[in-house]
Amino acid sequence: MKTDEKILKTAQALLASDGFGAVSFDAIGRALGMSKQAVLYWYPSRQELLAAMLGSWLAAEADVAVTAVDGTDTPNAAISAFVEAVAAFHLGDLDRFRMMYLAPQTLKVEMQAPMETGALDQVHATTSRMYGALADCLGGDPLFARQQATSIHCAVLGLALMFGLANGIKDPLKHSQKDLIAALVARLTDPE
């Protein structure tokens, strides 16, 4: 494995085990037996490290979504498969979800500099692949299908947000993940 990949895997492991506060260049260097400066060589800023982590996670999310809808034979089946797969992806690792969708909005000003064009291009290509796969299954007007796919993804992210909040404040929701995922699918699909 290349050094930059090792750094990313280590940062992701630190996040998974100890949360965002544990992800520092010093901690990554210690875990890999290298200096902070060596880590900074590959990722000169926390923003670049976050962008790299985000890129790999977003690709994994898209892979899950594309695989889920592949082979579905109706729009309802595609929506159900997409919602269930993407919800499971995020609910299975709430810290990763928080880093992907909440941290970029809430980090301090020095971390909020615009992402590099290359990183944004990667994000756009990945989300285009994910939304395109679902939109293709929805049929109809391509633009409207794409808008629906984006909205469906946003609805799943809202569900994950609520479970993340409940987890964060140690106040569980009154309904199970399974029940709320089923309710979301029922709301998003057409009655058959």
Same domain, 28 and 66: no
pTM to 2 decimals?
Answer: 0.86
Q: State the residue range of the domain holding 20.
A: 1-44
Instruction: Classify residue 49 as exposed, middle or buried by CB count within 10 Å of its CB (0-12, 13-18, 19+).
Output: buried
How does pLDDT run across 11-37, given as a tens digit for each residue? 988 877 777 778 899 999 999 999 999
For residue 123 the two structure tokens come to 């994000």
The Cα 154–Cα 148 span in angstroms is 10
Do 21 and 73 lie in one domain? The reply is no
Model pLDDT for residues 42-98, shown as the tens digit of each residue: 999 887 888 888 888 999 999 999 999 999 999 999 999 999 999 999 999 998 898
Structure tokens at 44: 């000169």
Number of domains in the chain: 2
